[in-house]
Structure 1
Amino acid sequence: MAGRWMNLGQYGAEGVPGWVALGAGIERMVTGIESPVDSERGLAARLRYLTASDAGYEAMDRAGIHLTPRTLIAWLAEERTPNRANLTRLDAAYWELRRRNVATDLKRRLNSRGGTRIEINPVDQSRVARPHWRDLSTRTINVRGVWDAAVDAWLAEDETALDAIWDDIITGLGSDYDAYSNVSSIGWAA
């Protein structure tokens, strides 16, 4: 991790580590069922998605859902409703499977046309007194060659790898790269 902001917030600057913003940006690209899991529609859609493939059953198993075929059939037929704990587990299993299923598409979208242009918004210095203010502006950079690794690190929730990838990205900003080790946000359209 770049280190110029070792005491971020000491003078009032606000932001997050760049790798956190990178992971959040990838996460925002994952879409899915809008209805809450405790609604009839939301539960039915999640159950359909999870029971459509072996990967869905594996996701339920990883989420701690261990049930008999009879119980699953009753859930699918809407004869019985899962308890609160199982609803939470079903939602977690759904989103974990959804993230896995969209990873390949995310890589393709982010790598298309030679990479994705991202906008890096520096830390918010609105609460920093003028003598401690740093002259930072929003930067735009075309990111190439790291998206497969970034999506894999995001999927694995590997903070160390995301941090290393963020450092690779910001070195493309030139000598002022370290000023962007923490950011207020990043964005892109992919």
Structure 2
Amino acid sequence: MAGRWTQFGLYGANGVPGWVALGREMDRQVTGIKSPVDTKRGLAARLRYLDSPAGREAMARAGITTRPRTIAAWTAGTRRPLPVNRQRIDEAYWDLRRRNLAIDWQRRLARTGTRIEIHPVDQRNVTRGRARDLTVRRVTVRGYRIWDDIIAAWINEDGEMLDIVWDEIITDLGSDYDSYSHVSSIGFGI
């Protein structure tokens, strides 16, 4: 598995495990409603988005146990949810956004793949003579199995699986693949 640097940062390198950077980049690409859930507009938009069987499942996962009649009153604007439920509505909204985007990503990425740009660890503070010669690397990741694994691990917040998949990605870099088990960041377009 990736991350064989047993004492990462001992000489001053700065970065995160590659699988963490992969998850962060996927999270960064999830966009949605900008208005806060505490505003009338933000709450109404979230409730409209959650008005579906998948949305009700997301609300249940977030811990919303109110009756459908209460949710209908929230949607109509005749009642306002308590702060704890507004927070849960927001969690349900972002959960559903992630899941809906994941479905779209699985269709597109498995077929076409995508190029991932891997930025090596920051070595500005590395002890003189200990820095490695690392450059930005680019690798194209394609295939149904690998993207299914990446997206399933991301949705389920399964760090162990993301680590395994990251290891598969960096092995395509050749003999210095382990130098990219920790990175400063990664980027890709979906």
Give TM-score scaled by structure 1 length.
0.93
Amino acid at match of 1:124: D
Please name the residue that 1:170 is paired with.
170
Residue pair 1:4, 1:179 contacting (<8 A) in 2 also? no
SS in 1 for 2:64: coil
Please name the residue that 2:46 is paired with.
46
For the residues of structure 2 that align with 1:55 and 1:70, how far apart are their CA atoms? 18
Distance verdict in 2 for CA 1:4–1:131, change over 3 Å: farther
Sequence identity of aligned pairs in percent? 62
**Residue 122 (1) aligns with residue 120 (2):** yes
Please name the residue that 2:60 is paired with.
61
**Residue 93 (1) aligns with residue 107 (2):** no
Amino acid at match of 1:123: V
For the residues of structure 1 that align with 2:9 and 2:20, how far apart are their CA atoms? 17
Structural mapping, 1:8-47, within 5 Å: 8-47=8-47
Amino acid at match of 2:149: A
* Count of matched residue pairs: 188
**Residue 141 (1) aligns with residue 139 (2):** yes
Could you tell me which runs of 5 or more consecutive residues in structure 1 were left unpaired when the two chains were aligned.
none
SS in 2 for 1:118: strand
Displacement of 1:68 after TM fit? 2.6
- Cα RMSD of the aligned pairs, angstroms, is 1.4
For the residues of structure 1 that align with 2:139 and 2:57, how far apart are their CA atoms? 39
1:12-58 per-residue CA deviation (whole Å, 9 max, x = no partner) reads 1111100111111222222211111111111000111112x111111
Q: Once superposed, which parts of structure 1, at least 4 consecutive aligned residues long, lie more than 3 Å away? A: none
Residue pair 1:123, 1:183 contacting (<8 A) in 2 also? yes
Please name the residue that 1:153 is paired with.
153
Amino acid at match of 1:97: L
For the residues of structure 1 that align with 2:53 and 2:4, how far apart are their CA atoms? 47
For the residues of structure 1 that align with 2:160 and 2:4, how far apart are their CA atoms? 18
For the residues of structure 2 that align with 1:189 and 1:47, how far apart are their CA atoms? 29
For the residues of structure 2 that align with 1:24 and 1:36, how far apart are their CA atoms? 21
Displacement of 1:119 after TM fit? 0.7
Residue pair 2:58, 2:96 contacting (<8 A) in 1 also? yes
Give TM-score scaled by structure 2 length.
0.93
**Residue 74 (1) aligns with residue 61 (2):** no
For the residues of structure 2 that align with 1:75 and 1:180, how far apart are their CA atoms? 48
